[in-house]
Amino acid sequence: MATIGIRRLSNGLGAEITGVDLRQPVDDSTFAAVEKAWHDHLVLLFRGQDITPDQHIAFSRRLGELDQHGSNPRYRLDDYPEILQITNLKVGGKPSDTRNTGRNWHSDLSYTRHPAKGSLLNCRQKPDVGGDTMFTNMYMAYETLSERMKAILEDLWAVHDVSLVAGIGERDPEKTAEMKRLSPPVAHPVVRVHPDTGRKALFVSQRVRSFVGMTEAESRPILDFLCDHATSHEFVYRHQWQVHDLLMWDNRCTMHLALADFDQSQPRHMLRTTLLGEPIGRLYNEAQAA
């Protein structure tokens, strides 16, 4: 077993892992220690990971089944459907629709019936400054609510809608229409129990339209409060990327936000694997939800 180091990155969440080289196979004991650290800290950072796509996939697959990114086939890495390119470089000679991915607070694939379990993002190119990513601890967001608010939220379901992805209106209209066809609105519990830790977390984001059984007007003040509360400074970690960073996060108990705080003429090129999550949602039929 490798001797790993764990250094906390903020009070809210996040830890840097040292002593692990993902270019080499990770033995079972080391992997178990990494997985425990992931459950404890929610976001893990591995610096200096100049890994190949095969190595990226091999490590990711230890954590679970990988998404094939069928809703974004144009942005899959050639010959590697498990890897999604999040980039402002041209893809196929055209501007990339993933160049502005993640510009509002969200949990990956929450607008599907199988929200992502986790994501692993490897930085290949970055601007000289900026392009940071922010994360927030949704366990803390839930646990610091009043008991009365927890009781109100306990039985609520929220409607997650792909059309609320920030910047979706700037994408290719044909591809946007296909995304909406493949991902109709779905409802998920507002309070989610983590299957591994048993802890409760808020499961809302800026990609939620309303609560089931409530109008958008009724839902909006509560949603705004929950998102503002969940992104309080004391729950948040802001990651400043370095080339060859690999960052892994648990989508079941975090939200994140990719900042546009950089010169868009400079390259920002990331490779992401996505862990498929358990089915928790249901298709939302507005006519039947009243």
Residues 137, 2: Cα–Cα separation, whole Å? 28
Q: Would you call 229 a catalytic residue per the annotation?
A: no
Residues 231, 267: Cα–Cα separation, whole Å? 28
What are residue 5's phi and psi, to 5 degrees?
Answer: -110, 150
Sequence-ordered strand ranges (E) for 190-234: 191-193, 200-202, 208-211
If you average pLDDT over residues 107-113, what whole number do you get? 95
Kindly give the pairing relationship between strand 15-18 and strand 43-46: parallel
Q: Is 200 helix (H, G, I), strand (E, B) or coil?
A: strand
Residues 39, 34: Cα–Cα separation, whole Å? 9
Spacing of C-alpha 141 from chain mean position: 16
The answer to whether 4 and 34 are in contact (CB under 8 A) is: yes
Edge-to-edge strand ranges of the sheet holding 186-189: 208-211, 157-160, 186-189, 282-283
Using one digit for the tens of pLDDT, what is the confidence trace for 120-176?
999 999 999 999 999 999 999 999 999 999 999 999 999 999 999 887 877 778 777
- Residue 150 is part of which domain span? 5-289
Using one digit for the tens of pLDDT, what is the confidence trace for 171-216?
778 777 877 887 899 999 999 999 999 999 999 999 999 999 999 9
pTM for the predicted model, two decimal places: 0.95
Q: Would you call 28 a catalytic residue per the annotation?
A: no
**Active-site entry in 99, 106, 239, 252:** 106
Distances from the Cα of 223 to the Cα of 159, 211, 252, 261, angstroms: 11, 9, 18, 26
Which one, of 258, 251, 286, lies nearest residue 112 by Cα?
251
Q: Would you call 108 a catalytic residue per the annotation?
A: yes
How large is the C-alpha radius of gyration of the chain?
19
Strand-pairing partners, residue 249, are: 43, 119
Residues 234, 189: Cα–Cα separation, whole Å? 25
Spacing of C-alpha 10 from chain mean position: 18
Q: Answer yes or no: is pLDDT of 288 > 60.
A: no
Q: Answer yes or no: is pLDDT of 286 > 80.
A: no
Q: Would you call 188 a catalytic residue per the annotation?
A: no
- Please count the structural domains in the chain: 1
User: What is the per-residue pLDDT for 287?
Assistant: 44
User: What is the per-residue pLDDT for 290?
Assistant: 46
* Residues with Cβ within 8 Å of residue 79, at least 6 apart in sequence: none
* Residues with Cβ within 8 Å of residue 69, at least 6 apart in sequence: 75, 76, 81, 82, 83, 84, 274
**Active-site entry in 69, 229, 256, 268:** 256
Instruction: Please state, as a whole number, how many other Cβ atoms lie within 10 Å of the Cβ of residue 267.
Output: 14
Residues 67, 117: Cα–Cα separation, whole Å? 10
Instruction: Please state, as a whole number, how many other Cβ atoms lie within 10 Å of the Cβ of residue 27.
Output: 11
Amino acid at 236: V
Which one, of 46, 47, 68, 48, lies nearest residue 57 by Cα?
68
The answer to whether 111 and 176 are in contact (CB under 8 A) is: no
> What CATH number is given to the structural domain containing 171?
3.60.130.10
Which one, of 240, 205, 209, lies nearest residue 130 by Cα?
240
Mean model confidence pLDDT for the chain: 94
Percentage above 90 pLDDT, the chain:
84
**Active-site entry in 41, 69, 99, 108:** 108
